[in-house]
């Protein structure tokens, strides 16, 4: 399933769960269930923004963006993290207000039933989105899936908390559960934002991708051909590789270029979304630019 299709499905599910969780809060009057409903509004806003960013990321390279637009996905995950933080602040505020005006809960059975049903929807969608995020290497899809998983655990905690309020009569437990929900989603929000910032720093490719690259280059390396000065980076779903290929000085340019073409094709076949840039050098020549040391 395409990334955009899954994000559209996420928008639809978020809208459905908003209705269900808001109804659960309205029926019971539980501030814990209110916190759960507020997080669903964040799900909706995040899914809409992620859909917009993924659409931009899919645009082909152009004159102003010769390496493509794939980094747009990182803005999606950063936005999602900030939205999570905003929801947490709203939840804490509501919980603190409830401490000064404790109220008994009503219609708990119906409210919890609606919450559990919405959590099942979110859990199924999150599982599908997480699997697709690994397949497409989409950080926007992964961020949305992680947020949905957080929502599922949040709902589980709220259900337990509200059930305990009903069983024990401890009305103060309802706002305490809401504050715990806020703390949990702040933790997840920080994780999502850090993943976005980390991605914008041009990190090297994942270990499994590096291993695939190494295996492919090893197939072509021999006594007269060697590879060195490898540099990799990732940007959204794209991966980039720069490497030097040393060949005997006696080779013709045509022979060396033909081998380079074979290596590039093999790399692209092995690693989806990879852009490989291979510089040809005679075996007795070493580049000097890598010897330059960065100054503090």
Residue 262's pLDDT is what? Answer: 92
What are the tens digits of pLDDT across the range 235-272?
A: 766 788 999 999 998 899 999 999 999 999 999 888 87
Instruction: Give the domains, in start order, of the chain with CATH numbers.
Output: 3-200 (1.20.1510.10), 207-291 (3.30.70.1350)
Mean pLDDT of all residues in the chain?
A: 80
- pLDDT above 60 for 31: yes
Helix (H) and strand (E) counts for the chain?
8, 3
| pLDDT one-digit tens code per residue, 262-283 | 999 999 888 877 888 899 888 8
Q: Is 290 in contact with 229 (CB distance < 8 Å)?
A: yes
pLDDT exceeds 60 at position 296: no
Q: Using an 8 Å Cβ cutoff, are 258 and 223 in contact?
A: no
Strand-by-strand arrangement of the 274-282 sheet:
226-235, 238-247, 274-282
Please provide the DSSP assignment of 32-92 as one string.
HHHHHHHHHHHHHHHHHHHHHHHHHHTSPP-SS-TT-STTHHHHHHHHHHHHHHHHHHHHH
Residue 213, pLDDT > 90, answer yes
- pTM, two decimals, is 0.59
DSSP three-state, residue 203:
coil
Q: For the packed helices 3-28 and 139-168, what is the interaxial angle rounded to 10 degrees?
A: 20
Query: Which tokens in the block code for residue 160?
Result: 């337990």
* Best CA proximity match to 108, nearest among 149, 150, 154, 169: 169
Rounded to 5 degrees, φ, ψ at 275 are: -115, 110
Q: Is the pLDDT of residue 2 over 60?
A: yes
Helices 108-136 and 139-168 cross at an angle (nearest 10°) of 160
| 49 against 216, higher pLDDT | 216
């Amino acid at each position: 399933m395409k990334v955009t299709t899954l994000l559209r499905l996420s928008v639809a599910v978020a809208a459905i769960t908003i209705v269900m969780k808001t109804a659960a809060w309205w029926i019971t009057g539980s501030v814990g269930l209110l916190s759960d409903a507020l997080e669903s509004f964040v799900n909706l806003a995040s899914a809409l923004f992620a859909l917009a960013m993924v659409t931009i990321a899919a645009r082909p390279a152009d004159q102003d963006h010769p390496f493509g637009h794939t980094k747009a996905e990182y803005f999606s995950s950063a936005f999602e993290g900030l939205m999570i933080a905003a929801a947490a602040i709203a939840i804490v505020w509501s919980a603190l207000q409830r401490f000064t005006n404790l109220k008994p809960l009503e219609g708990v059975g119906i409210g919890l039933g609606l919450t559990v049903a919405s959590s099942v929807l979110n859990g199924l969608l999150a599982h599908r989105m997480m699997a697709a995020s690994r397949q497409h290497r989409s950080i926007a899809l992964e961020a949305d899936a992680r947020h949905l998983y957080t929502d599922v655990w949040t709902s589980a905690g709220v259900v337990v908390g509200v059930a305990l309020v009903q069983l024990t009569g401890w009305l103060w437990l309802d706002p305490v559960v809401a504050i715990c929900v806020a703390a949990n989603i702040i933790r997840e929000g920080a994780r999502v934002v850090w993943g976005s910032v980390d991605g914008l720093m041009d990190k090297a490719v994942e270990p499994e991708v590096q291993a695939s690259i190494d295996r492919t280059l090893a197939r072509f390396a021999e006594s007269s051909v060697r590879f060195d000065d490898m540099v990799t980076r990732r940007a959204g779903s794209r991966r980039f590789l720069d490497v030097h290929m040393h060949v005997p000085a006696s080779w013709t340019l045509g022979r060396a270029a033909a081998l380079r073409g074979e290596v590039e094709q093999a790399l692209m076949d092995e690693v989806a979304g990879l852009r490989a840039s291979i510089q040809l050098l005679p075996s007795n020549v070493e580049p000097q630019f890598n010897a330059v040391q960065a100054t503090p």
